[in-house]
């Protein structure tokens, strides 16, 4: 596990420390070169990419996805970009794990296309992997590039060996930590085979070293990834019509002791929070867990340690 928090205003590092093992079998410790899958933290990076296109005038939150993706089911035709980012589309999800385990993109597409929508778009929050698969296709249609290449080019000022896409933890990649989860056998095993391959890149595919993540974090805070106007738009709360859910366009919004933060977590093992008014960011990267716990509570506890109270 690696843990880092910093004051972005002064770029003063409070702590940047490695803990534990990158590989248990061979007792390889985590070090500064370790690469972590960030899992669903990938989604906030995709959100930044969408708003980069909005800033450039190539895309609108109001655009229907059918403008960019052909062959959609009839009841998907009016779904808009804003519905995908806010998880309010109502479209069926590429989940649960047993039903989508190791499917190809074509097989996963056929399975979700055959299911009925759950509710009218915009009504409520319903966490959804399919929406980010569609956002991947939207970006690739507009930019005529593979999502992985485009995201790295436009958001990461680092070599491809410290920031890259791979949605399969079974890929052998130098310096990448081994992932361990109890999901399948209720005992510690290597990863879980779910949403693998290029088609899952927008859902869970980003891999980063801590240093690459810190650079990205500074670019975001300093308005180098997005102008402040568009970053503020990205962090606006989505107005669900039948739900009190507090969520922005791809980002969680949470209050910790009265301090507003934005961020997301991934697969119960990675988390990121930025507190804009306090100029503080917290990054937590780990490669597994032995039992279930609430990573958001862990982030709240860390925030309470490093941010003075009201």
| Residue 37 buriedness (CB in 10 A; 0-12 / 13-18 / 19+) | buried
Please tell me the distance from the alpha carbon of residue 191 to that of residue 179, in angstroms, as a whole number.
5
How confident is the model at residue 53, as a pLDDT? Answer: 99
Task: Please tell me the pTM assigned to this model.
Answer: 0.94
**CB neighbours (10 Å) of residue 59?**
20
**220: nearest Cα among 207, 231, 205:** 231
Domain ranges of the chain: 2-306
Q: Look up tokens 């989604």; give the residue.
A: 43
In the chain, which residues have pLDDT < 50? Answer: 8-11
The whole-number pLDDT of residue 230 equals 99
Tell me whether residue 10 is exposed, middle or buried, using C-beta atoms within 10 angstroms of its C-beta: 0 to 12, 13 to 18, 19 or more: exposed
The reported pLDDT for the residue numbered 10 is 47
Residue 88 · residue 123 · CB < 8 Å: yes
CATH 3.40.190.10 matches 2-306: no
CA angle 73, 90, 198 (to 5 degrees): 70
Q: What is the pLDDT of residues 185-233, one digit of tens each?
A: 778 888 765 667 899 999 999 999 999 999 999 999 999 999 999 999 9
Q: Give whole-number Cα distances, 36 to 165, 167, 208, in Å.
A: 11, 11, 5
User: Tokens representing 248?
Assistant: 């922005």
Q: Are 156 and 165 in contact (CB under 8 A)?
A: no
Phi/psi at 43 (5° precision)? -65, -35
For residues 206 and 228, what is the distance between their CA atoms, to the nearest angstrom?
A: 24
Give the per-residue pLDDT at 255: 93
Alpha carbon distance 271, 45 (integer Å): 13
């Amino acid at each position: 596990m690696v843990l880092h928090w910093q004051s972005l205003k002064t770029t003063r590092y409070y702590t940047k420390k490695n803990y534990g093992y990158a590989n248990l079998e061979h007792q390889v410790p985590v070090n500064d070169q370790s690469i972590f899958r960030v899992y669903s933290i990938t989604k906030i990076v995709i959100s930044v990419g969408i708003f980069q296109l909005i800033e450039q005038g190539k895309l609108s939150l109001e655009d229907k996805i059918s403008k960019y993706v052909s062959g959609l089911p009839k009841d998907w035709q009016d779904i808009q970009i804003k519905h995908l980012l806010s998880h309010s589309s109502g479209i069926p999800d590429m989940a649960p794990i047993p039903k989508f385990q190791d499917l190809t993109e074509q097989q996963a597409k056929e399975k979700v296309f055959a299911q009925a929508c759950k509710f009218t778009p915009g009504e409520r929050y319903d966490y959804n992997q399919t929406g980010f698969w569609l956002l991947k296709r939207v970006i690739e249609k507009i930019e005529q590039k593979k999502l992985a290449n485009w995201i790295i080019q436009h958001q990461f000022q680092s070599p491809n060996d410290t920031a890259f896409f791979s949605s399969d933890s079974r890929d052998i990649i130098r310096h990448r930590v081994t992932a361990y989860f109890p999901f399948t056998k209720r005992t510690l095993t290597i990863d879980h085979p779910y949403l693998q391959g290029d088609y899952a890149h927008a859902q869970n595919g980003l891999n980063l070293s801590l240093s690459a993540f810190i650079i990205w974090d500074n670019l975001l805070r300093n308005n180098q990834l997005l102008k402040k106007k568009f970053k503020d738009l990205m962090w606006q709360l989505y107005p669900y019509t039948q739900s009190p859910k507090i969520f922005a366009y791809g980002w969680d919004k949470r209050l910790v002791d009265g301090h507003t933060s934005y961020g997301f977590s991934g697969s119960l093992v990675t988390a990121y929070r930025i507190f804009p008014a306090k100029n503080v960011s917290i990054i937590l990267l780990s490669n597994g867990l032995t039992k279930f716990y609430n990573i958001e509570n862990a982030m709240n506890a860390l925030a309470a340690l490093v941010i003075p109270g009201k």
